[in-house]
Amino acid sequence: MPAIVALLECPIFGVEAVRVPSQYLVELRNVVFAYDATRPVLKGIDMAIPRGRVVAIMGGSGCGKTTTMRLIGGQLKATSGEVIVAGESVSQLDDRALYMLRRRMGMLFQFGALFTDMSVFDNVAFQMREHTDLGPDLINDLVMMKLNAVGLRGAAQLMPSELSGGMARRVALARAIALDPLLMMYDEPFAGLDPISLGVIGQLIRRLNDALGATSIIVTHDVQESLQIVDYIYFVSEGRIVAEGSPEDIRASRDPWVHQFVWAESDGPVPFQFPSAPYRQDLLGAAHA
């Protein structure tokens, strides 16, 4: 059953009646964002991310993917439009309310971002010690459960410097789910991984999302791996959503930009050649152009 998020007074019975939460955990409504007047990054973004789903945000470098994630997490505020997470308008929250909302989020940073002077165990335990009053024995059990979920219970006493890249990413994932977040966000979770580690991380993202009943947002360039694990994709280009749909819709898309991106073609709407004078002119001079 969906969680109860609010109660409304019922004048007939003199008791409170249940209000069912929105089917969407995250909504962006006509969101515009610019660092200054000359640099618009997002130009009217609309997204609706259902509860319990894994959704990917894809696009070329600098198109606004990570900026969108920062708006959802409250690190940035939209220039206009509205960002709603779990029924809360993020830009309207005061510091305390924003802090409480962030405690319900988990974040897997690109390349893991583990605390290098802490063991694997202490990295995963960090949030539990900081944000809960749980005793050492219970924290120990919970940490071991999280590490077991990512296959690294035996690495609990290792230091980050002793881990491979794939292992470090899995420890970071265990840390991100330490408090069973409502919303998980992944910033390029597949970057720099070998094919085996990439496949393992992809399947962990899917399995953990389903096991926790969470909602996941993945910012990634890795099209083929993402199409295997996500429920829905938004493609962003130059600050706008240019395509969206299920993995099947995206694979079958006839949109030139989407087709080029999905099938990694060297030329298309994104040209291979940087704008330049005619090749013949550069080789032979203007008289031969």
For residue 95, count CB atoms less than 10 angstroms from its CB and return exposed for 0-12, middle for 13-18, buried for 19 or more: exposed
Tell me the mean pLDDT in the region 4-23. Answer: 42
What is the structure's pLDDT at 285? Answer: 73
Give the DSSP letter string of 167-198.
HHHHHHHHHHTTT--SEEEEESTTTT--HHHH
What is the structure's pLDDT at 183? Answer: 93
What is the structure's pLDDT at 282? Answer: 77
Longest dimension (CA), the chain: 91
**Predicted confidence (pLDDT) per residue in 70-102, tens digit:** 999 988 899 999 999 988 899 899 999 998 888
* Res 286 pLDDT > 90: no
* Res 8 pLDDT > 50: no
What is the structure's pLDDT at 271? Answer: 66
* Res 12 pLDDT > 60: no
Which one, of 173, 29, 149, 139, lies nearest residue 89 by Cα?
A: 29
**Predicted confidence (pLDDT) per residue in 109-118, tens digit:** 876 688 889 9
What is the structure's pLDDT at 21? Answer: 56
β-strand 54-58 against 232-237: which pairing, if any? parallel
Question: Which of the four pLDDT bands, split at 50, 70 and 90, describes residue 164?
Answer: confident
For residues 156 and 37, give the distance between their C-alpha atoms in angstroms, rounded to a whole number. 49
3-state secondary structure of 222: coil
Q: Give the type of residue at 119.
A: S
**Predicted confidence (pLDDT) per residue in 211-254, tens digit:** 888 999 999 877 777 888 999 999 888 888 988 889 888 888 78
Tell me the mean pLDDT in the region 198-219. Answer: 89
For residues 256 and 142, give the distance between their C-alpha atoms in angstroms, rounded to a whole number. 48
* Res 17 pLDDT > 60: no
**Predicted confidence (pLDDT) per residue in 21-68, tens digit:** 568 899 999 999 988 777 788 988 999 999 999 999 988 777 788 889
